[in-house]
């Protein structure tokens, strides 16, 4: 009941604030007309005094009296009648809207959209029971770390959350505290390096390189660290060294590794030929072990031609048997790595015909297309 009393009081207050200018305008207009009529009457009396004193001629007095009388008559006809303000009807519709319709519309909207029966929940209660509210969980963790700054596990949990939220300054501090309190690990060092790279707009800085090299010393063949160190060579203009580093990463990567398409793009960018990753020979369209060994002995042009032939062969097999999801994923990647965007888009379109976009596999095809920059009608939605 108290809630509705407050609502009624607030509504009445708002209505009064809105009505006040209208009522004031009407009163001001009426007062202004009364004052104007009094001025004209004074002018008539002054005119009679001037005529008696001989300051003006009778003809001039008659002309002036007629003009003043006309203005006085015009003002007098607009005066209030029977104690009612003039032109009150002009504001009647607006006043009715403010007094009746506006509160009624607001009440209907609240009853439709709002929830008057919902019990109040103070901030302290929301903090104690955050549920799935990530912002409250982060605030809770921050308050805990403010009271216990030596809790390394807290910093370790909070650091990746900061990074995903692009709070790179807070993420760097959290990673450094976690490393200081819990010790370095490949995951913490890699997270710190990625945070430093994000803070420098994608540039692999000296501090990031140091963290990546330390990560590699703890876990050799760490693909994330190897990729960023190769990227650092590329950014330094050392194309040959960068190409060799990316090629070594591609050769050491397992078949179907999610980073392989990006690695192959950098190999091509630095003047190399995309690597053929080892794969399951039983899967349709994959190269056999003999084909991989033969490709290693070829020159760049012959190898590129062989890769193109293998991709075309996979394309032909998928036209005959489109129910091969892994084949479509591999074909789209292959065309993207070969920088044949038109065929990649066509392959994506045909793959979506076999695996519609409203299904799980179709969604994976769409995600791959967006990742590789392959545009279709579905990816542009």
Looking at residue 33, its pLDDT comes to 58
Sign of CA dihedral 51, 52, 58, 61: positive
**3-state secondary structure (DSSP) of residue 52:** helix
Q: Phi/psi at 328 (nearest 5 deg)? A: -65, -40
Looking at residue 171, its pLDDT comes to 92
Residue 287 has pLDDT above 50, yes or no: no
Q: Which residue has the higher pLDDT, 47 or 316?
A: 316
pLDDT digits (tens, 9 = 90+) for 131-177: 556 677 788 888 888 888 899 999 999 999 888 888 899 999 999 99
Q: Which residue has the higher pLDDT, 247 or 280?
A: 247
What is the C-alpha separation between 68 and 46, in angstroms, rounded? 11
Looking at residue 86, its pLDDT comes to 45
What does each C-alpha distance from 381 to 37, 58, 139, 308, 343 come to in angstroms? 71, 89, 35, 31, 20
Looking at residue 233, its pLDDT comes to 92
Looking at residue 288, its pLDDT comes to 47
Residue 1 has pLDDT above 60, yes or no: no
Residue 211 has pLDDT above 80, yes or no: yes
Mean model confidence pLDDT for the chain? 76
Does residue 127 contact residue 139 with C-beta atoms inside 8 Å?
yes
* Buried/exposed code over 240-274 (b: 16+ C-beta within 10 A; e: otherwise): eebbbbbbebbeebeeeeeebbbbbbbbbebebbb
Does residue 306 contact residue 337 with C-beta atoms inside 8 Å?
no
pLDDT digits (tens, 9 = 90+) for 302-349: 556 666 777 888 888 898 889 888 888 888 888 887 778 888 899 999
Q: Which residue has the higher pLDDT, 192 or 288?
A: 192
What percent of the residues of the chain are helix, what percent strand, and what percent coil, each to the nearest 5?
75, 0, 25
Residue 82 has pLDDT above 60, yes or no: no
What is the C-alpha separation between 374 and 349, in angstroms, rounded? 10
Burial of residue 13, with CB atoms counted within 10 A of its CB: 0-12 exposed, 13-18 middle, 19 or more buried: exposed
- State percent of the chain over pLDDT 90: 20
pLDDT digits (tens, 9 = 90+) for 85-120: 444 555 566 666 666 676 777 777 777 776 666 665
What is the C-alpha separation between 351 and 374, in angstroms, rounded? 13
Looking at residue 39, its pLDDT comes to 76
Which of 5-9, 50-54, 134-138, 303-307 tops mean pLDDT?
Answer: 50-54
Looking at residue 121, its pLDDT comes to 54
Mean pLDDT within 72-84: 56
Mean pLDDT within 19-42: 62
């Amino acid at each position: 009941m108290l809630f509705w009393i407050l609502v009624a009081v607030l509504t009445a207050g708002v209505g009064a604030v809105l009505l006040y200018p209208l009522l004031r305008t009407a009163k001001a207009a009426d007062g202004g007309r009364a004052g104007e009529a009094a001025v004209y009457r004074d002018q008539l009396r002054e005119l009679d005094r001037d005529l008696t004193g001989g300051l003006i001629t009778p003809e001039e007095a008659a002309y002036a009296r007629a003009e003043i009388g006309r203005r006085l008559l015009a003002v007098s006809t607009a005066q209030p009648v029977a104690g009612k303000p003039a032109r009150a009807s002009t504001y009647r519709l607006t006043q009715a809207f403010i007094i009746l319709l506006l509160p009624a519309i607001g009440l209907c909207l609240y009853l439709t959209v709002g929830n008057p029966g919902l019990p109040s929940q103070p901030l302290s209660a929301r903090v104690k029971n955050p549920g799935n509210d990530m912002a409250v969980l982060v605030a809770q963790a921050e308050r805990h770390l403010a009271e216990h700054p030596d809790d390394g596990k807290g910093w370790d949990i909070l650091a990746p959350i900061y990074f995903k939220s692009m709070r790179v300054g807070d993420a760097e501090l959290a990673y450094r505290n976690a490393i200081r309190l819990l010790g370095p690990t490949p995951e913490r060092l890699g997270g710190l390096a990625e945070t430093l790279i994000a803070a420098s707009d994608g540039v692999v800085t000296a501090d990031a390189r140091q963290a990546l090299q330390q990560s590699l010393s703890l876990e050799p063949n760490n693909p994330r660290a190897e990729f960023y160190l190769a990227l650092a060579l590329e950014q330094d203009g050392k194309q040959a060294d960068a190409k060799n580093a990316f090629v070594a990463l591609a050769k050491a990567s397992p078949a179907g590794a999610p980073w392989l398409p990006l690695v192959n793009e950098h190999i091509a960018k630095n003047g190399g030929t995309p690597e053929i990753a080892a794969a399951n020979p039983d899967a349709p369209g994959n190269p056999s072990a003999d084909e991989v060994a033969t490709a290693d002995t070829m020159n760049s042009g012959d190898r590129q031609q062989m890769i193109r032939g293998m991709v075309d062969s996979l394309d032909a097999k998928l036209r005959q048997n489109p129910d091969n999801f892994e084949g479509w994923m591999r074909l789209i990647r292959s065309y993207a790595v070969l920088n044949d965007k038109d065929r990649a888009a066509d392959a994506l379109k045909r793959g979506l015909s076999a695996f519609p976009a409203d299904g799980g596999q179709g969604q994976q095809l769409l995600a791959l297309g967006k990742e590789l920059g392959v545009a279709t009608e579905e990816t542009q939605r």
